[in-house]
Amino acid sequence: MPDSLITETEVAARVAELAAEIDADYAATDELILIGVLKGSFIFLADLARRLEVKHRVEFIAVTSYGESESIHSGAVRMLMDVRHDIEDCDVLVVEDIVDSGQTLEYLMRLLAARAPKSLHACTLLRKPDRLEVDVDVSYVGFDIPDVWVVGYGLDWAERFRTLPYIGQIEPQV
């Protein structure tokens, strides 16, 4: 099993803090639209959403930014599945598992902004500051982590380890 980088308890505590921050910021909002980025964000989104007191709706979007080999990053992002509802005039919060180069989130924010939401912000559980290639604004960040490959709590390595309850780190080469 992968070595632990962030324990289950630490993740749960931080998710509760993020939910409290989001609740405070959206206290005056009628309905918040959470857009989870598949697949990686599904567990984070489930835990975060259940902690939120602000009225919200859950949507999903699927994109891909990596080729067959997970370690090769082309920078190109492709839409696999769009949200089902119009977001015009809505308060939208994109929920990501991890911001690595930032290309995926930058693409998504540009795409969603073009649909004229009332507000648009991003929340990510993890971010690798050393790997950032583009300047993308993330309003809520769970943890800044070093440049290591992380798995668990929704994140995978070639589809493995997604349902590990903690955030582990692995050597992708092994």
Assess 154 for contact with ligand IMP (CB under 6 A): no
Pairing label, strands 56-66, 73-81: antiparallel
Would you call 100 a catalytic residue per the annotation?
Answer: yes
Number of helices (H), then strands (E), belonging to the chain: the values are 3, 9
Omega within 30 of 0 (cis) for the link into 128: no
Assess 149 for contact with ligand IMP (CB under 6 A): yes
Tell the residue number behind the tokens 């939910």, with chain if given: 19
66/8 Cα distance (integer angstroms): 27
Window 66 to 105, contacts with ligand IMP (CB under 6 A): 73, 96-105
State the catalytic residue, choosing from 47, 91, 97, 100: 100
Tell me, by CB under 6 A, how many residues bind ligand IMP: 18
Smallest gap from Cβ 130 to Mg ion, in A, equals 18
Assess 154 for contact with Mg ion (CB under 5 A): no
Assess 40 for contact with Mg ion (CB under 5 A): yes
Encoding tokens for residue 10?
């630490």
Catalytic residue numbers?
A: 100
